[in-house]
Amino acid sequence: MEGGRGHSARIRSTLRLKRAETGSTLSHLEGGLSGRRYEADALMGLDPIDQRPLLARYDLARARQTIGCEQMATRRSGRLWRWAELLPVRSQAFIIYLGEGETPLQPARHLGSWLGLTNMSVKRESLNPTGSFKARGMAVAVGRAVELGAKHLVAASAGNAGGALAAYSAAAGVRATVIMPADAPAQNQVEVLATGAGLLLLEGLISDCGRLAGVIRDELGAIDLSTLKEPYRVEGKKTMGFELAEQLGWQLPDAIVYPTGGGTGIVGMWKAFEELEALDMIGTRRPRMFSVQAEGCAPIVLAYNAGDRFAKPWDRAATAAAGLRVPSAVGDFLILDCLRKSGGGAVAVPERDIVETQGRLGRLGLGYASLETAAAAAGLKMLMESRVIEPEGRVVLFDTGAGFKSEPPVIAVPRPIPNDVEFWKERVIPGLR
């Protein structure tokens, strides 16, 4: 890793795992600096009591000795790993660094004008090494898994997470198996194979892929890195919240709009804000968190509107935005808690609006954005039209992936023209005038 070694070598905060729902410590799973060793499968799965997610906790009083607003200003390299005291990988030897993190927070004047916002920014997660925000989570989760002795990693993925798992497993020198729905974007399939991982295409949804990942875990001893099936992908995702606060001068925006499938991005950022407050780096104020899903797969929206704590599995999930085609999220209650505690909300957008908005984002200067990013922008448009978000508020939209990671839109490609100067002058130039 380029730079960043000195500060993270000075201190490593005590790491513990806690049950996400109750907050009670699972003492038999605690880590720390005592030198005790644990098997990877004991620290990389769900809570054995209720099969719900575990979340990492840190000794923040100890972390405060070396991390703060002034200290972060001196850390000029390392990107995501600048936050080492608040990440679970203990040894520098297990940090896998491909350039992830520190993505730009880009003012989006043209997009803001279309939406009716005067203070609009886009967090460009599509610029991560594997073309999506999934690189953050897999960098940390793979590093931690290998540190705990894992030799074979497996994950169910709608696309981008699989590509990230493959890339970071290859960098770590461990075996990876990715299970995708058979209709996952071809680009994601190629990415997995090109980086040396095994790929299984399953006739079913990502929830079915998750069941197969569980069988591979149980039968072959692989470590399952599927969304929130282990505690550490969310730790990588939370660095988006750290960066957002730092990029805004240790203030938080009024609203965050985020495309939501498995939901680790929202859960991770909410956790980041709690840790920053505990470190006296920000105050108590929080942004309103908004989750955007597709009408063809909107379990979080349905549960939010119904006032339910848990989301019912979505029957016959269907959307071209593969990352949003998650009929049942294991961390559903965590997502819903964030939305409600923040005073935010959840909206579902029609499929036609997702496709149309993808093209519009390109014309508004945002480049070739993914369908998931387009869904988030379409959802923000709905929120503005319903006056849920104030026009003068500081709003951050998350661009979670590059357009080339989604199935390409149907666009008429121009026919080739002759390589002839006279033809250009007679037939091409007039059309360009």
pLDDT confidence of residue 42: 54
- Burial class of residue 258, CB neighbours in 10 A (0-12, 13-18, 19+): buried
Average pLDDT for 4-15: 45
Closest by Cα among 214, 287, 220 to 248: 287
- Count of CB atoms within 10 A of residue 204's CB? 15
- Count of CB atoms within 10 A of residue 148's CB? 22
Average pLDDT for 390-401: 96
The one-letter amino acid code at 165 reads: L
pLDDT tens digits for range 305-322: 999 999 999 999 999 999
117 and 395 Cβ atoms separated by less than 8 Å: yes
In a domain, 63, yes or no: no
Whole-number percent of the chain with pLDDT over 90: 82
151-184 CB burial, b ≥16 within 10 A, e <16: ebbbbbbbbbbbbbbbbbbbbbebbbbbbbbebb
In a domain, 358, yes or no: yes
For the cut 60, the answer to whether the pLDDT of residue 284 exceeds it is yes
Domain of residue 384 covers 105-130+233-405
Tokens (6 digits) for 358:
């993808």
Tokens (6 digits) for 313:
């599995």
Question: What pLDDT band is residue 372 in, cutting at 50, 70 and 90?
Answer: very high
pLDDT tens digits for range 182-197: 999 999 999 999 999 9
For the cut 80, the answer to whether the pLDDT of residue 414 exceeds it is yes
pLDDT confidence of residue 7: 41
Write down the pTM of the prediction.
Answer: 0.89
pLDDT confidence of residue 196: 96
147 and 104 Cβ atoms separated by less than 8 Å: no
For the cut 80, the answer to whether the pLDDT of residue 5 exceeds it is no
Phi and psi at residue 115, to the nearest 5°: -85, -20
For residue 347, give Cα distances in angstroms to 67, 87, 207. Answer: 37, 32, 22
CATH number at residue 269: 3.40.50.1100
Name the residue with tokens 């850390």.
75
Tokens (6 digits) for 195:
């980086």
Question: What pLDDT band is residue 32 in, cutting at 50, 70 and 90?
Answer: very low
pLDDT confidence of residue 119: 97
Average pLDDT for 343-358: 97
pLDDT confidence of residue 14: 61
Residues 6+ apart with CB under 8 A from 354: 294, 319, 320, 321, 371, 374, 375, 378
Domain tally for the chain? Answer: 1
Question: What pLDDT band is residue 41 in, cutting at 50, 70 and 90?
Answer: low
Question: What pLDDT band is residue 271 in, cutting at 50, 70 and 90?
Answer: very high
In a domain, 355, yes or no: yes
The residues pairing with 56 across neighbouring beta strands, listed in sequence order, are: 17
pLDDT tens digits for range 237-248: 999 999 999 999
pLDDT tens digits for range 99-153: 999 999 999 999 999 999 999 999 999 999 999 999 999 999 999 999 999 999 9
In a domain, 197, yes or no: no
pLDDT confidence of residue 35: 32
In a domain, 260, yes or no: yes
In a domain, 431, yes or no: no
For residue 196, give Cα distances in angstroms to 144, 183, 187, 421. Answer: 20, 20, 15, 47
pLDDT confidence of residue 19: 63
pLDDT confidence of residue 107: 96
For the cut 60, the answer to whether the pLDDT of residue 291 exceeds it is yes
Question: What pLDDT band is residue 227 in, cutting at 50, 70 and 90?
Answer: confident
pLDDT tens digits for range 154-183: 999 988 999 999 999 999 999 999 999 999
For the cut 70, the answer to whether the pLDDT of residue 400 exceeds it is yes
Closest by Cα among 202, 407, 421 to 322: 407
3-state SS track over the chain: CCCCHHHHHHCCCCEEEEECCCCCECHHHCCCCCCCCCCHHHHCCCCCCCCCCEEEEECHHHHCCCCCHHHHHHCCCCHHHHHHHHCCCCCHHHCCCCCCCCCCEEECHHHHHHHCCCEEEEEEHHHCCCCECHHHHHHHHHHHHHHCCCCEEEEECCCHHHHHHHHHHHHHCCEEEEEEECCCCHHHHHHHHHCCCEEEEECCCHHHHHHHHHHHHHHHCCEECCCCCCCCHHHHHCHHHHHHHHHCCCCCCCEEEEECCCCHHHHHHHHHHHHHHHCCCCCCCCCEEEEEEECCECHHHHHHHHCCCCCCCCCCCCCCCHHHCCCCCCCHHHHHHHHHHHCCEEEEECHHHHHHHHHHHHHHHHCCECHHHHHHHHHHHHHHHCCCCCCCCEEEEEECEEHHHCCCCCCCCCCCCCCCHHHHHHHHHHHHC
pLDDT confidence of residue 47: 78
Average pLDDT for 200-224: 95
pLDDT confidence of residue 10: 37
pLDDT tens digits for range 56-75: 999 999 999 999 999 999 99
In a domain, 262, yes or no: yes
In a domain, 354, yes or no: yes
pLDDT confidence of residue 418: 95
